[in-house]
Amino acid sequence: MRRSTAYILGFATIVCLICSVLVSSAAVMLKDRQEVNKVLDRQKKVLGVAGLIEEGADTPQAEVEKLFTERIRARVVTLETGEYAEGVDAATFDQRKARNDAATSTLAPPNDAKVLRLPNQAIVYQVMEGETVKLLILPVEGKGLWSTLYGYLALAPDTNTIEGITFYEHAETPGLGGEVDNARWKALWKQRKVHGPEGRIAIEVVKGQAGPAATDPNRVDGLSGATLTSRGVSHLLQFWLGDKGWGPYLAKFKARGGA
């Protein structure tokens, strides 16, 4: 039986409307679950770079939440002054949202990391042992080759010794720039130093191989075939550890004796 053009268009419209309603309903119903998963993933990444769980392991949700509650203290920092922000709930603070809002962010100065805006406030995760801060977990971000890399850097309380690095979101080329996810490469960062002998920020990813941390503390092996991603990692760390990023906070933290 031949159908008229109007019938075919009407039928197609009805099918599209039904599918739209179903997809929209699913998105609404799953929104709360997506938010829970988002928080859980962030907690896993923080615990992983802190060495409290194995990165990539299928750690049960209850264990992740327990460890995070017991060992991690989140605090919001005013980047310009390096002081802890009063009256801001770290549990609900969204740093990326703050960065994207002109009311809660500022234009970044020209920089090699290609960071365009800076949130007025940012969140630091402190790994606690009793009342003592054992590690600082700092959010960092910057451009690689194809994408913005979002990650966490773990620093010892001396604010100079790197204890770990991880990237939780990027779209770099698998097998090339995507090797920022490689556990062997991430292991090379442990015990590297942020500052050189003259006190300037010197940490960088080099082309080719670097020496061991004991004799070549400021350099890390480059990613094979991914020069621009490697440079991006260098640039984003140098930016965020500098005066426009976490620099003022790290100076205050050290001056306060690790508090």
What is the domain partition of the chain in residue ranges? 72-255
Give me the residue label for tokens 């609900």.
92
Closest Cα to residue 180, out of 233, 133, 131, 216? 233
Question: Are the C-beta atoms of residues 142 and 232 closer than 8 Å to each other?
Answer: yes
**What's the pTM?**
0.85
Question: Are the C-beta atoms of residues 190 and 217 closer than 8 Å to each other?
Answer: no
Amino acid at 213: A
Q: What DSSP line would sit under 142-195, residue for residue?
A: EE-SSSEEEEEEEE-TTSSBEEEEEEEE--PPTTTGGGGG-HHHHHTTTT-BSB
Give me the residue label for tokens 């100065």.
109
What are 146's two structure tokens?
């194809």
Tell me the pLDDT of the chain (259 aa) as tens digits: 555 666 666 666 777 677 666 555 544 554 445 566 777 888 999 999 999 998 878 899 999 999 999 999 999 999 999 999 999 999 999 999 999 999 999 999 999 999 999 999 999 999 999 999 999 999 999 999 999 999 999 999 999 999 999 999 999 999 999 999 999 999 999 999 999 999 999 999 999 999 999 999 999 999 999 999 999 999 999 999 999 999 999 999 999 988 8
DSSP collapsed to 3 states, 192-210: CECECCCCCECCEECCCCC
